[in-house]
Amino acid sequence: MKKHKRILIVNPFGIGDCLFITPLLRALKEQGSAERIILLLGSRTNEVFKENPYVSKTIPIDRGWFRKQKFFSKLGFVWNLVKELRKEKLDTFFDFSLSREYGFIALFFLWIPMRIGFNYKKRGLFLNRRFDLSEGYQKKHVIEYYCELLKALNIKPTSQEMNLFLSELEKSEAKKILNAEGIIDEPYIVVAPGGGDSWGKDAYLKQWPSQYFKQLTNLLKDQLPVTKIILLGSPSEQELTKDFSIDSKFEVINWVGQRTLRESFSIISGAYMVFANDGGITHVTRALGTPLISLYGPVNPVVYGPYPSSDQTLVVYGKDLSCQPCYGKFRYQSDCETGACLKELMPEDAAERIKQSGILENIKTRKCENNV
C-alpha cells in the first residue's frame, strides 16, 4: 500500500468545523503513516490547533482581507502561498472547503497526486477521490462524514472524539487569571450567550435570548454548587451581556471580548459546566470534556451538535415547529421574522428538561469520583 506521508488539509470555516476534523487528524497519524500534516485555515481558527501534536504546521488565510484585494495583489498572495507549499513536497490533499479553487491549485500548481474531498454541486471537479454530497450534511454528524474520507486511504479511525490540546503553561496562566478574580479552588460555571462569528450579521438567529440564560441559571441555582458565573464570547457579542448581572443570583464576571481564544479555552476546561448556544464554544467545551448544556434552534443538533453523545452533555432543542430545522444545504432562513424556535423556548421549559435529563446528577457523581 502506498504511503501518504505529507498531507495538506484545507478547512476555511469556523471553530466547530475545524474541531470536526480532529478525529481525522488523529487517524492519519495513528492509523496512517503521515509524517507532516499542514493545515490551511481561516484566520480565526489558527489558534485551535496550537499544541496539537498531530499538526506540523498551520497557515491562516484571512478570506475577508483577500476578497478586498485587487487582482494582482491576490495573484501575488496565491503565488507566494504556492511557493511555500511546494517546498513541502505534498503527496495527499484533503479538501473540506466545498469549493473548486483549492482543488484547482492542488492539481495544477502543487501537483498533489491524491486529492480527496466532497463533490457538492460538482465542485469536486479537480479531486480524484470524490465523495458525493449532493444533499449536504444530513441525518448523521459532520464528523462521521469527515471520517468517511479516510476510506480513500484505507484507514479506519479508532475514535471519533474531538481533541483540543492545552499546555500546562496555559492552564497555569488561566489559574492566575481566575485567582485574580477571587476564584481560588472553587467551582464556577461559564455562560456563552453568543452564537459565534461564523454566521456574521445573522448570528442572532442562533442565539437564545441572553436574559433567558440568566433566568435559566437562576432557576437552577439550588442544583448548582457554584456562586460565580463567567461570561465568555467574542468582542462582537459584548452588547448581549451588558445587563446580565442585573437580578442574577450569582456573582457575574463578564469577560466577553476580554479574553484571548486560548485563555477562554483554558477557562472552559476548568469549569464545573458550560451553558452555550450552538456555536464554536459548544464544540470547544465538548472537545475539552467539560460538562455542557447547549441550546439549538435553526440547526439540526444530530448533524451539527456536540459529538459524540455523553451523559454530561445535553442539547436543549427549541420548539417543535414545522420550519425547524431551517438550516440545510448550507443555507438558512435569514429572513425569519420571529426566531420562534428559540424565542418561544422559555427558561422554565429548559430548566424542566435539564432536571428531567439527569445531567446535573451525572455531573455531581463524576465530580465526586474525580475528587476521590
Of 3.30.56.10, 3.40.109.10, 3.40.50.2000, 3.30.413.10, the CATH number of 170-371 is 3.40.50.2000
369: left (phi over 0), alpha (psi -120 to 50) or beta: alpha
Question: What integer best gives the mean pLDDT of the chain?
Answer: 91
3-state class of 59 per DSSP? strand
The whole model's pTM is what?
0.94
Nearest CA to 290 out of 192, 190, 204 is that of: 190
CA-to-CA dists, residue 352 to 47, 342, 356, angstroms: 37, 16, 6
> How do residues 140-192 score in pLDDT, each as one tens digit?
999 999 999 999 999 988 899 999 999 999 999 999 999 999 998 899 999 99
Distance of CA 78 to the CA centre of its chain: 27
**What confidence score (pLDDT) does residue 120 get?**
93
> How do residues 66-123 score in pLDDT, each as one tens digit?
888 888 898 999 999 999 999 999 999 999 999 999 999 999 999 999 999 999 999 9
What ranges do the domains of the chain cover? Answer: 6-153, 170-371
DSSP state of 46: G
Which range among 31-35, 151-155, 195-199, 226-230 shows the weakest confidence by mean pLDDT? Answer: 195-199
3-state class of 192 per DSSP? strand
CB-based burial of residue 169 (10 Å sphere; 0-12 exposed, 13-18 middle, 19+ buried)? exposed
Q: Is residue 57 within 8 Å of residue 39, measured between CB atoms? A: yes
Strand order in the sheet with 129-132: 57-61, 36-42, 6-11, 92-95, 114-119, 129-132
Which CATH superfamily includes the segment(s) 6-153?
A: Glycogen Phosphorylase B; (3.40.50.2000)
Determine phi and psi for 212, rounding to 5 degrees.
-70, -40
Distance CA 187, CA 175 (A): 12
Residues for the chain: how many in total? 372
Distance CA 79, CA 58 (A): 18
CATH fold match for the domains 6-153 and 170-371: yes
Q: Cell 444530513 identifies what position?
A: 138
Distance CA 105, CA 33 (A): 24
Distance CA 343, CA 349 (A): 12
